[in-house]
């Protein structure tokens, strides 16, 4: 079997199998795989008929294999051969668990891996008592600021990069400890990766940006949302504006995983997710 480090040139090759497998998980979108290829050390496995899967490393250091085919169409012996040299198949959606022989494979999962999924109405309206704080933050933001927004284009990279650089400084972390590099690359390759979104301005100055991609029909993945943290309410405003700008195109928004980080988890839960998409790790028994 042939192997190649994942690259932008593989976009056309992988778009069809990823679309066919579409299950809502954020990893089943080429932009996600490509932008985080160095974080996960992704290597593409190919045979004579096309892509077989991606070998990589999970955030907690486990070697994994992401199959780029329907596991229900593969015999158990073939799956056993593929997982050799890896700790697990990952990420596997719940619907595919039935395709793994329980006498040969054992499913497991970690909540830190799970994607947070929200209904579009959550961000469009921030209805209800539990979202009252978000609703009030948007009102406070609009009362204090004069926002403007422009659909993001690569020619606006300079403005968005200034937002990203300030965001990075405010984290107090090293670049390697954040998603700064993937976000910077996304700003340059938004067209090639089919990403879309907005750059947000307050009193004429760039203060935020949001980049997203279509995950499956009806679901959008929010890949990057960066803004000036000192401007109160700007994040819930950006989500509110973006969801309304998409109209009825998407019913759900995937905000990806929390990586087990308490601050991420607290923030994502504060928006009242509709559900968590569990990503299973299938290990050989």
Q: What is the CATH number of the domain that holds 51?
A: 3.40.630
Q: Which band of pLDDT confidence, cut at 50, 70 and 90, is reported for residue 16?
A: confident
Please compute, for residue 110, the number of CA atoms within 13 A of its CA located in the half-sphere on the CB side.
15
138 domain-assigned:
yes
Mean pLDDT confidence for 236-252 = 98
Total domains present in the chain? 2
Query: Are residues 231 and 125 located together in one domain of the fold?
Result: yes
pLDDT above 90 for 25: yes
Q: Mark whether 70 and 178 lie in a shared domain.
A: no
Residue 23 — φ and ψ, nearest 5°?
-135, 5
More confident residue, 227 or 146: 227
Q: What is the per-residue pLDDT for 22?
A: 83
Question: Would you say residue 124 lies in a domain?
Answer: yes
Question: Could you tell me if residue 106 is inside a domain?
Answer: yes
pLDDT tens profile 61-111: 999 999 999 999 999 999 999 999 999 999 999 999 999 999 999 999 999
Q: What is the pLDDT of residue 55?
A: 98
Whether 202 is in a domain gets the answer yes
Of the pLDDT bands very low, low, confident and very high (cuts 50, 70, 90), residue 34 is very high
Of 225, 278, 261, which is closest to residue 110 (Cα–Cα)?
Answer: 278
- State the pLDDT at residue 29: 96
- Work out the pLDDT band at 57, boundaries 50, 70, 90: very high
Q: Which domain holds residue 181?
A: 115-256
Alpha helices, H only, the chain:
11-21, 30-35, 37-40, 76-83, 120-125, 132-144, 157-171, 180-188, 234-246, 262-270
pLDDT at 136: 98
| Res. 40: pLDDT tops 90 | yes
pLDDT number for residue 48: 86
How does residue 213 score in pLDDT terms, banded at 50, 70 and 90?
A: very high
Measured N-to-C along each axis, helices 132-144 and 234-246 cross at an angle, to the nearest 10 degrees, of 100
Same domain, 190 and 203: yes
Per-residue pLDDT, 1: 86
CATH of the domain at 248: 3.40.630.30
Residues 221 and 134 in one domain: yes
Rg (CA), the chain: 20
Which pLDDT value is given to residue 49?
85
Residue 252, pLDDT above cutoff 90: yes
pLDDT band at 53 (very low <50, low <70, confident <90, very high): very high
Structure tokens at 120: 């579009």
């Amino acid at each position: 079997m042939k192997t190649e480090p994942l690259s932008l040139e593989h976009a056309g090759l992988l778009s069809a199998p990823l679309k066919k497998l579409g299950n809502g998980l954020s990893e089943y979108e080429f932009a996600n795989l490509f932008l985080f290829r160095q974080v996960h050390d992704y290597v593409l496995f190919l045979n004579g008929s096309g892509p077989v899967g991606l070998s990589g490393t999970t955030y907690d250091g486990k070697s994994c294999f992401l199959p780029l085919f329907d596991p229900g169409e593969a015999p158990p012996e073939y799956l056993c051969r593929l997982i050799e040299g890896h700790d697990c198949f990952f990420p596997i959606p719940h619907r595919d668990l039935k395709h793994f022989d329980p006498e040969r494979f054992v499913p497991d999962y970690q909540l830190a891996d799970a994607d947070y999924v929200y209904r579009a109405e959550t961000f469009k309206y921030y209805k209800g008592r539990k979202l009252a704080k978000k609703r009030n933050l948007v009102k406070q933001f609009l009362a204090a600021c004069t926002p403007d927004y422009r659909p993001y284009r690569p020619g606006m990279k300079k403005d968005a990069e200034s937002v990203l650089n300030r965001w990075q400084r405010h984290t107090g972390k090293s670049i390697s400890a954040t998603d700064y590099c993937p976000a910077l690359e996304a700003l340059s390759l938004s067209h090639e990766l089919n990403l879309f979104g907005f750059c947000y301005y307050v009193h004429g100055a760039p203060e935020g940006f949001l980049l997203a991609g279509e995950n499956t029909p009806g679901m959008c993945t929010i890949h990057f949302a960066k803004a000036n943290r000192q401007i109160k309410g700007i994040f819930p405003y950006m989500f509110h504006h973006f969801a309304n700008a998409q109209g009825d195109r998407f019913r759900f928004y995937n905000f990806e995983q929390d990586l087990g980080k308490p601050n991420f988890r607290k923030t994502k839960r504060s928006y009242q997710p509709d559900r968590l998409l569990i990503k299973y790790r299938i290990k050989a028994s």
